[in-house]
């Protein structure tokens, strides 16, 4: 299968959130048929539709040959390795990995929607994605950098390395 670029949102707000985001970035390159190629800066954001401490967020870019569902399964396995529990929707989390894009793939199934259906509505995914791929066109939505104005009212703070 051909290599495609996948963008993965990384977030955490429990325990050593910053350490978990950093470690997750390292582990993403261990997925079969995948190479971790870039990671955005880290950002601090308040929870959206959730409770708990602020999140540390980033976006990673991977070159991968995995299918969308195989990549999703790999991301969920990594979450479990980091102690992710899902006691209720939008619960605080030790690690959250969201498949944001996979090449130009458009998918709408009960299990997975690509591009991620709320990607363009959330500064915590859109701002770090714009750092990596400002000219990326999200099918049906437009260029990532052009979508930033729509989240400009959301507080997001870029952290020093």
Task: State the CB neighbour count (10 A cutoff) for residue 49.
Answer: 8
Residue 155 contacts residue 38 (beta carbons within 8 Å): no
| CB-based contacts of 83, cutoff 8 Å, min separation 6 | 15, 94, 95
98 carries an active-site annotation: yes
- Spot the catalytic one: 4, 18, 81, 96: 96
86 carries an active-site annotation: no
Alpha-carbon distances of 28 from 60, 78, 127, 139, 154, rounded to whole Å: 8, 8, 20, 25, 28
Closest CA to 158 of 129, 128, 135: 128
44 carries an active-site annotation: no
- Spot the catalytic one: 98, 122, 143, 158: 98
Torsion sign over Cα 124, 20, 12, 107: positive
- Spot the catalytic one: 49, 86, 89, 93: 93
- Spot the catalytic one: 81, 84, 122, 153: 84
Alpha-carbon distance of 10 to 37, in angstroms, equals: 15
By annotation, the residues acting in catalysis are: 84, 93, 96, 98
């Amino acid at each position: 299968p051909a290599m495609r670029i996948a963008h993965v949102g990384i977030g955490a707000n429990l325990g050593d959130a910053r350490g978990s985001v950093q470690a997750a970035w390292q582990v993403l390159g261990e997925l079969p048929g995948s190479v971790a190629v870039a990671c955005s800066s880290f950002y601090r954001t308040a929870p959206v539709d959730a409770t708990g401490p602020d999140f540390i967020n980033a976006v990673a870019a991977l070159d991968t040959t995995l299918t969308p569902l195989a990549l999703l399964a790999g991301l969920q396995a990594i979450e479990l390795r980091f102690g992710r529990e899902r006691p209720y929707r939008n619960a605080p989390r030790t690690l959250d990995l969201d498949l944001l894009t996979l090449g130009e793939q458009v998918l709408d199934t009960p299990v997975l929607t690509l591009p991620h259906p709320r990607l363009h509505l959330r500064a915590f995914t859109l701002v770090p994605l714009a750092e990596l791929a400002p000219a990326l066109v999200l099918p049906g939505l437009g260029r990532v950098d052009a979508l930033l104005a729509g989240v400009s009212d959301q507080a997001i703070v870029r952290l020093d390395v």
